[in-house]
Amino acid sequence: MKYTKLGKSNLTVSRICLGTMHFGGSTSEEEAFRIMDRALELGINFFDTANVYGNRGGSEMIIGRWFQHRPGSRDQVVLATKVYGLMGDPNKPNEERGISTYKVRKHAADSLRRLQTDHIDLYQVHHYDRRITPEEFWGTFERLIDAGDVLYMGSSNYPGWGLVKFQMHATQRGSLGLVSEQTMYNLLCRIPELEVFPAARDMGIGIIPYMPMAGGLLTGKTQAVEGSRTHSVENEYGIQLGDQNKQLAEFSTLCRELGEKEHIVAIAWTLAHPAVTSPIVGIRKLEHLEGIERAVELTFDAKTLERLNDIFNLNRGRPLRAAEAPEAYAW
């Protein structure tokens, strides 16, 4: 395994992040324990969860019980969780989606209890809340940091302008600010390259891509099982697997020429971007972890990157150029 620093922080994380969204849902506690055991064996020290995962708290509780089951494991893990989503009755005041000092204070305490730990290494705001002021935002999270409940702050699903807005306010307050941004990024979803990545790099924010394999679309599958995660992603992306999909067929052909599996190439491609710190690999079964370290070792020559960029051109069929904003759409 290889390691790097998370954004402008001096925190060291593995270049693969274990995603635990399926824990407490399609992944049983017993299987989740095996997955986390194996992740540590592979050198993966970065675990990501959220309070809403596993039917509102299930994933965090499984991780907390694993910490107790495996003494010393907590100190081996950089633990990330999130706040924003609905955890209670949506009809009650202050329980709606979003963040406030009132809500975060309770949700942070609940996450700490479920995780059976005294601190969260990386606390991420799960989505952009347009209503909260920077003063309330940073006042809320600075109190958690000052109390030792949270070490670092991150964001998720933020626009580029949102990263700049909150990072500038953090600078004015003399605080470290955001060290990470978690965003959807893969060969089929390259929109973050336009605004989010340039803003993050300029502000010292490390990118943690989720869905680097596009929910299974970039794993070499030729058919999605009805009701599966990949089937739902087909609908989300407006992409159908099968012989008619020439784009994915080209991708598989290139992977065969490289002698690599599709999911390894997909993950390695995200790692090739200089803004990316550590892609999140959401593991449902232990077998899905095997060989994953190959993605960290794999590098591409300029010709291969050019072919991948051509197959998955962000601007295919659009009046945009392949560049960061504003060059992508301005003279």
- Residues tagged active-site: 53
- 60, 65, 15: which is closest to 42 by C-alpha? 15
Phi first, then psi: what are they for 35, rounded to 5°? Answer: -65, -45
Count of CB atoms situated within 10 Å of the CB of 116? 15
> Residue 264 and residue 212: Cα distance in Å, rounded?
10
Among all chains, which residue has been given the structure tokens 């306010």?
169
Q: State the residue for tokens 């955890």.
A: 87
Nearest to 275, CA basis, from 182, 328, 200:
200
- Tokens read off for 248: 């994915």
Residue 305 near residue 274, CB atoms below 8 Å = no
> Where does 157-267 show beta strands of DSSP type E?
178-184, 206-210
d(CA 131, CA 266) in angstroms, rounded, equals 36
**Which residues, in sequence order, are CB contacts of 46 under 8 Å at separation 6+?**
13, 14, 16, 17, 18, 77, 78, 80, 278
216, 224 in Cβ contact below 8 A? yes
Handedness of CA 258, 263, 267, 270 (dihedral sign): positive
Phi, psi angle pair for 261, to nearest 5°: -75, 150
Asked if residues 322 and 313 have their Cβ atoms less than 8 Å apart, the reply is yes
**Identity of residue 139:** G
* Count of beta carbons in the 10 Å neighbourhood of residue 51: 23
